[in-house]
Amino acid sequence: MKTWNLKTYLLLLASLFMLSACGGGSSSPKFGVGEDGGSSSGSTGGSTGGTGASGSSVVKIGTGTGSAFVLGALASTKTTLQSGSSTTLSFNVVDGNNAPVLNSYTARFSSTCLAAGSAQLSKNGAVVSQITTADGLGSVNYTPQGCSGTDTVTASLTVGDTILTATVALTIEVDQVLAVEFVSASKTQLSLRGIGGQETATVTFKLVGAQSAPIIGESVTFSLSTLEGGVSLAGGSTTGITDSQGLVSTVVQSGTTATTVKVFATHDATLIQGGSTDISISTGVAVDDRFSISMSSRQPAGAFNTDGIEVSLNVIAADQFGNSPPDGTQVRFVSTEAGKVDSACSLVNGRCSVKWLSSGPRPADLRVQVLAYMRGAETFVDVNGNSVYDGAEIGLHTDLGEPYADENESGAYDLGEFFVDIDLDGVYDATGDGEWNGPCMSGVNAAAICSSKEDTFIYRDIRIFMPTNDVNIVSLGTFPALGGSINVGGGTVSLTGLVFDDGNGNPWPTGTKYTWSSKETTSTNLRLNATSGEVKTIFPANSVAMPAMAISLTGNAANSTPATTEVKLEITMPDNTKYEYYFFVNYNKE
């Protein structure tokens, strides 16, 4: 038997004590979720309110730091606010010692009003749904937009497997209706009822309060500015309730009379009213005598020898009442002789434009015909004023032939010129079918005569010149030959009819400048009356000649000393080429 001495016994007790203190080789305990230190009994999953664990540190969400920290609370600069006004929501992320956590976390926000779209969050002017914390702090702006009552806002962030939350209850005061605002009309042009066009339009208004926020769930009544021709509101749309965006709509139905109507929306509780833009009710079919085309330059400088010189072709079209056809109505273009033109444009408020670009080949006369055409109606004389083509107007209408480009400027179609073959028979038809071609109006007035064709092609062809930078005298009129004398003495001489072109029978290019001047600068001896200026577009559309120039010279009858001076016409082309022409004037000098 082994004998234990005192030293051996003490060593054994010390070893057992050390083994017990180390826990049998297990690791040291960590901080637990839900505690500020020490305990290992906290939850590690699901929502825990304002506290969670990250690695070996406690993470909490609330407001404030240090001893002022309030767990699970979301701070707000104001807790009672009007719809449309804003408050700043903020929170702190702290550790177990209530000191800021420097790590960044993503926080998301939720509430009843946010989910319904009647409140909005923003940060630095941008709408957001979540934010990222910085140095243990997060903040966002909250703006109710039609929400009212109590809205509890929750900020949530995830730490490991734990969702931490902080909340605040906000009171949103009921807003007062301050305005009924017009928002939109799906159509501002409607066809007369019964002719087969667009006959209805949806008109939308918005109720807003003191902060321009929408007001939800309010009753609105609609009315019209006129009931002329049977214009009306669609059944079931005479009243409405504002939706989550404060919007409310009605539907307008056209009548049988050309007119303009406005929709009014009245808030039932306050009788505050708003009005729509005008809605035009008309045929919506462009007519021949209301189809017009113009251009930015009829004689563009440089087009005779430079490709890509641009001319804007501008169309205006209207129906028989002067109202616009529906937006999107197409106008087509062709330029068969030279240049490039856009194939079509779509009318917006009765207007549209295309670009023509100069390019080869260039005709010998440096002129190009451009044809514009669209579907429309022939013009008629409404002798009985009932706005429809009936028995009283038979024979009192234009009977349009097929559109063509008058390339040789003869004033009539000639074989080989471009034309639009409406009836696809391969032959140009110079006249129409003898009937009025336009929309059937029998649904508007039973007396209306309807053609077998409810439309035709209406058209215009215009001429673009490509003038050179040359000057040629077409006519001197009453002027003497260049360098000739004009005898004024003490009287007055008027000279007219001086006409120029570019040597090809074309007007000078746009931008050409011409100036008259006299070497005699004393007006009491000789007074020159003449117009100087700059060449603009020549009218009418297919005119060739430049406008004739005229001057007048007035001497002084009280003077008795004969003298001679020069009167000069200086012409400067767009490329800065200059031409000078002189006349000698005999007059009396002091």
What is the residue whose two structure tokens read 């009937």? 435
For residue 517, pLDDT over 90 is answered with: yes
Neighbours of 46 (CB within 10 A): 8
What SS3 state is found at 55?
Answer: coil
For residue 337, pLDDT over 60 is answered with: yes
55 confidence band (pLDDT: 50, 70, 90): very low
| Dihedral, CA of residue 437, residue 441, residue 445 and residue 450, to nearest 10 | 40
pLDDT of residue 244: 83
In terms of phi and psi (left: phi > 0; alpha: psi -120 to 50; beta: otherwise), the region of 352 is beta
What SS3 state is found at 393?
Answer: helix
pLDDT of residue 23: 42
For residue 35, pLDDT over 70 is answered with: no
Q: How far apart are CA 462 and CA 380, in angstroms?
A: 24
Q: What is the pTM of this model?
A: 0.65
540: preceding bond cis by omega (within 30 degrees): yes
Neighbours of 94 (CB within 10 A): 24
Q: Which residue has the higher pLDDT, 1 or 224?
A: 224
For 288-299, b/e burial (b = at least 16 CB within 10 A) is bebbebbbebbb
The phi and psi torsions of 185 (rounded to 5 degrees) equal -130, 125
Residue 9 makes CB contacts below 8 A (sequence gap 6+) with: none
pLDDT of residue 543: 60
25 confidence band (pLDDT: 50, 70, 90): very low
57 confidence band (pLDDT: 50, 70, 90): confident
Q: Mean pLDDT over residues 310-320, rounded? A: 95
Return the closest-CA partner of residue 422 out of 444, 398, 439, 400. 400
Q: Mean pLDDT over residues 238-243, rounded? A: 94
pLDDT of residue 545: 62
491 in Cβ contact with 557 (< 8 Å): yes
209 in Cβ contact with 202 (< 8 Å): no
Q: How far apart are CA 414 and CA 416, in angstroms?
A: 6
pLDDT of residue 47: 41
470 in Cβ contact with 305 (< 8 Å): no
Percent of the chain exceeding pLDDT 70 equals 89
Q: Mean pLDDT over residues 36-60, rounded? A: 51
What is the residue whose two structure tokens read 């939720």? 110
Q: Mind listing the pLDDT tens digit for each residue in 194-236?
A: 887 889 999 999 999 877 788 888 999 999 999 998 999 999 9
Q: Mind listing the pLDDT tens digit for each residue in 347-396?
A: 999 999 999 999 989 999 999 999 999 999 999 999 998 888 998 999 89
Tokens of 367: 């002129």
Give the DSSP H or E segment for 21. Answer: helix 6-21
For residue 160, pLDDT over 90 is answered with: no
Ranges 96-100, 152-156, 195-199, 291-295: which has the least confidence: 195-199
Return the closest-CA partner of residue 156 out of 99, 93, 69, 86. 93
Percent of the chain exceeding pLDDT 90 equals 67
User: What's the CA angle centered on 268, arms 264 and 271, to 5 degrees?
Assistant: 65
What SS3 state is found at 477?
Answer: coil
What SS3 state is found at 141?
Answer: strand
Neighbours of 306 (CB within 10 A): 12
Q: Which residue has the higher pLDDT, 33 or 412?
A: 412
pLDDT of residue 50: 65
Q: Mean pLDDT over residues 492-517, rounded? A: 94
User: What's the CA angle centered on 350, arms 347 and 353, to 5 degrees?
Assistant: 50
pLDDT of residue 523: 81
For residue 579, pLDDT over 80 is answered with: yes
Q: What is the mean pLDDT of the chain?
A: 87
Return the closest-CA partner of residue 518 out of 532, 505, 507, 537. 532
Q: How far apart are CA 140 and CA 134, in angstroms?
A: 13
Q: Which residue has the higher pLDDT, 536 or 348?
A: 348
User: What's the CA angle centered on 186, arms 182 and 189, to 5 degrees?
Assistant: 105
Q: How far apart are CA 588 and CA 118, in angstroms?
A: 90
pLDDT of residue 415: 95
Ranges 104-113, 191-200, 284-293: which has the least confidence: 191-200
Q: Mind listing the pLDDT tens digit for each residue in 448-478?
A: 898 888 889 999 999 999 999 999 999 999 9
Residue 496 makes CB contacts below 8 A (sequence gap 6+) with: 477, 478, 548, 550
